Amino acid sequence: MSATGSINTVRRPSRSGLAVLLGALASLLATLFLGAPGAEARAAAPTAAPTVTPTVAPAAALTEVTDFGTNPSNLRMYLYVPDSVTAKPAIVVAVHYCTGSGPAMYSGTEYASLADRYGFIVVYPSVTRASKCFDVSSPQALKRGGGSDPVGIRSMVDWVTRTYSADPSRIFATGISSGAMMTNVLLGDYPDVFAAGAAFSGVPFGCFATTDGSEWNSACSGGTVIRTPQEWGNLVRAAYPGYTGPRPRMQLWHGTEDDVLRYPNFGEEAKQWTNVLGVGQTPAATDSPQTGWTRTRYGATGDRAPVEAISLQGIGHNLYAYGMAARVLTFFGLDSSGPAPQPPPGACAVTATTTAWSTGLTGSVTITNTGTVRIEGWRLGFTLPSGQTITNGWGATYAPASGAVTATNAAYNGTIAPNASVGIGYQANHGGNGAAPAAFTLNGTVCTVN
């Protein structure tokens, strides 16, 4: 298998108004789910082009890549690389809805234009089966490396990571409807690949499971599959048995009047991912960022909380609108130009102390820039001692709440001048060990611990 694959450059579709797209999408979804023939034929097909085998795709053009790796379900891969792609770029996988396609997702969302601004790469997987829906129901799809669509998408990510030396710690997934369900599946199957996801009108991982070859699960779509947080979490953990590493954060969107994937699925998704990420079911913060929206954050109060759930009052299944992708990028941490600069080795020092009582503790952390270059934006990595779980924090956003934690700077303290320091802190529960973390990294660089 070629490491570079084959590439077809296709005509760049025009970016039509989203209102037109969503109106068409509503009709497409209605006819598909009622079984009307020919619904999938409305998706625009890309213009054919000669096949070439360069090491990279042409910039600022939607491009089809073939022979990208293992692809058991014959997915097609479309790629958008901006002119201004950054060094070690992030990757966003944008997954289409039923009856859609990669090119339709490209032209109907603003991820490509946002990539032009921020320098990341967008992958648009495209289904070839007749329904144009992703497989989120088969036993193969719900297991890491089990086969079907998730394996093909993982191959796409690996191809981009190799070809563009992408940052493996900044790979994200987002999708609409069937693509939202696939986002849940990707984060469950490959928690070591994806850093976060954003699902628009989806269902929990495993909710659509079937064993008879059917792509549709009426009980799940109708919102009647109700489980405990632990039961939902166990489904995710079973996809990759034995995995103990960090889990990706999740952003959820759902309309209260969704008549295709009913609204109870929104609450079940929140139950699942709060359990997977080890945070409580009680929101850390609730607000209304826009009229008719209710946003709840679990595990932390900032823009990168472990779980963020946004409910849209009176909105149906086709809730995606322009402007939402920018909120997705904020949650992903991509709404800036490129990754945070790394300090040179030995250029950071951390002092960490705790004050503990019977079952709780307060931790204080001071980060010092001991180098000669100003740090613009930082992420402090550390591992909490076993049994500790962060309940709230200040000066940073903490995720996840236990295990290997990343503290990301707040809006007001992201810059650390040479010889300057920033103080942050947290409260945590513990099971008997109230010690401070023993090691820290700042933007991936090991710090001296005082």
Helices (H) and strands (E) in the chain, counts: 9, 24
- Alpha carbon 412 to its chain centroid, in Å, reads 25
Task: Give the separation between CA 122 and CA 416, rounded to whole angstroms.
Answer: 31
Sign of CA dihedral 330, 190, 399, 442: negative
Structure tokens at 385: 């001692």
DSSP state, residue 409: E
Cα–chain center distance at 224: 26
Task: Give the ranges where 286-363 is alpha helix by DSSP (H).
Answer: 324-332
E strands within 288-347?
293-298, 307-312
Find all residues with CB under 8 Å of 358, minimum gap 6, and list them: none
49, 10 Cβ separation under 8 angstroms: yes
Q: How many CB atoms lie within 10 A of CB 143?
A: 19
Catalytic residue selected from 177, 178, 201, 402: 177
Instruction: Count Cβ atoms below 10 Å from residue 188 Cβ, excluding itself.
Output: 29
| Stretch (H or E) spanning 380 | strand 379-383
Q: How far apart are the first and last CA of the chain?
A: 49
CB-hemisphere CA count at 13 Å for 438?
3
- In the residue annotation, 177 being an active-site residue is answered as yes
Active site members: 177
